[in-house]
Amino acid sequence: MPRLDADIVIGGEGLLAAVSAAALAEEGFAVSWIGGEDPPRWGGPGPIAIAPAGRALLERYRLWPGSPPEGQAVQRMRVWDAGGRISFSAAELAVPELARIVDGVRLFECALAAARARVVAEANRIVAVEPGPDAVRLVLADGRSRLARLLLACDGADSPLRRLIGIPTLERAYGASALSFRVRSRLPHDATAFQRFLPGGPIALLPLADGASQVVWTRPEPVARALNALKPEALARAATEASEECLGALEIEGACRFLPLRMRLAEGFAAERVALLGDAAHQVHPLAGQGANLGLLDLAWLIAVLARARRRGLDLGSRAVLARYAQNRRSAAGLAALAFDGLERLFSSAEGPLVQLRRMGLSLVDRIPPLKRWLAHEAMGWSAWPAELPVSGGGP
């Protein structure tokens, strides 16, 4: 057999690719990272809500930026619609925080620096994937090739690698887009995340460390485009009204990002000597802010599966090894995608029976502490955490 260039090749150039490269190298695997830029660039989504489970993974591999930790802790969350409401707090759940809002670009820079210190990285593209009985051969855009036991596709929602290996996807276009922009508010956010459900989609205000908030507002496509065309003052007034002035009058700082929304789920999360991670495997509605966290849980499970295979002397890229990862994560991500899809349908509806149903549901959950704790545990990511990957403090 020809000499391998690496145990694992990471394909992609975003946050999850950098985190995967750095974490797997820290676990002792020989890793090569093939990205598209030198240095890789990532047009990240600005602030990201990182759940405690995701943070545990980043801290385990020394990828959490800053000491003390950067970002804004979310201590409380308030969710409401026309007739019902529910609130969560870290204090009542006896946890340090519900989530932490961090600068996505800063997080990427931290992971990028660690990955470049730990792995062989090169700016190139994979243009062909040729799995074999003992290795996968990767043909690069410059004509060279690489041999590895396993290829990880971390190359985003449109994933050229997923298309190269021929894994189809199930998709649903929501006919809606998310507007994301930073605001200053008359009232302090008090480390609280707010989310109001409206017909057509929710509006969320996430607390930031400097006292500002990040608005993520989902609206039907024509409405979103009309809002995006408004002057900042008019958009701020519309967001103030839509959020029922929960933070008082809002004032926009900086540009507004515009993102069309869809649900996408790969029919399989692994093939011969290839595994899909993050958006390459699943893209979900942003109403729960779980996109990045689902990708980090993918990585946590893959690390647990590969470490177990190495201890047993198994081939890292074999179907038998990858099946455990693929089955667990596709099941979990599929349930999440369907749950978020169902919530989007339920809360965006203005029909009388559904309005009454969600009013009763929110009010009921708010009055049942065990059910609230279960929902919070799910949102913090611990229910999907692999038992084989121990974490320190506050874990499952």
> What's the pLDDT band for 24 if we cut at 50, 70, 90?
very high
Q: Which two tokens stand for residue 54?
A: 């995701």
What is the architecture, at CATH level 2, of domain 6-63+105-171+264-384?
A: 3-Layer(bba) Sandwich (3.50)
H helices present in 213-271, as ranges? 221-228, 232-242
pLDDT of amino acid 354 = 47
pLDDT of amino acid 223 = 94
Q: Residue written as tokens 């210190």?
A: 117
The mean pLDDT value for 299-312 works out to: 96
Beta strands 201-207 and 213-220, pairing class: antiparallel
Give yes or no for a cis peptide into 68 (omega within 30° of 0). Answer: yes
Q: Which of 318, 293, 306 is nearest to 388 (CA)?
A: 306
Q: How far apart are CA 185 and CA 245, in angstroms?
A: 9
339 or 221: which leads in pLDDT: 221
Q: Which of 115, 114, 110, 111 is nearest to 33 (CA)?
A: 115
Give yes or no for a cis peptide into 39 (omega within 30° of 0). Answer: yes
pTM of the model: 0.90
Q: What is the mean pLDDT of the chain?
A: 86
In this predicted model, what pLDDT tens digit does every residue of 109-136 receive, in sequence order? 899 999 999 998 999 999 999 999 999 9
Where are the chain's structural domains?
6-63+105-171+264-384
Do the beta carbons of residue 154 and residue 274 sit within 8 Å?
no
- CA separation (Å) from 392 to 94, 294, 374, 389? 16, 20, 21, 10
Q: Which two tokens stand for residue 221?
A: 């496509």
> What's the pLDDT band for 342 if we cut at 50, 70, 90?
very low
Q: Which residues pair with 86 in a beta bridge?
A: 79
In this predicted model, what pLDDT tens digit does every residue of 100-111 receive, in sequence order? 999 988 899 899
Q: What percent of the chain is predicted at pLDDT more than 90? A: 60
Q: Which of 170, 167, 187, 15 is nearest to 106 (CA)?
A: 15
Phi first, then psi: give them for residue 229, nearest 5 degrees.
Answer: -85, -10
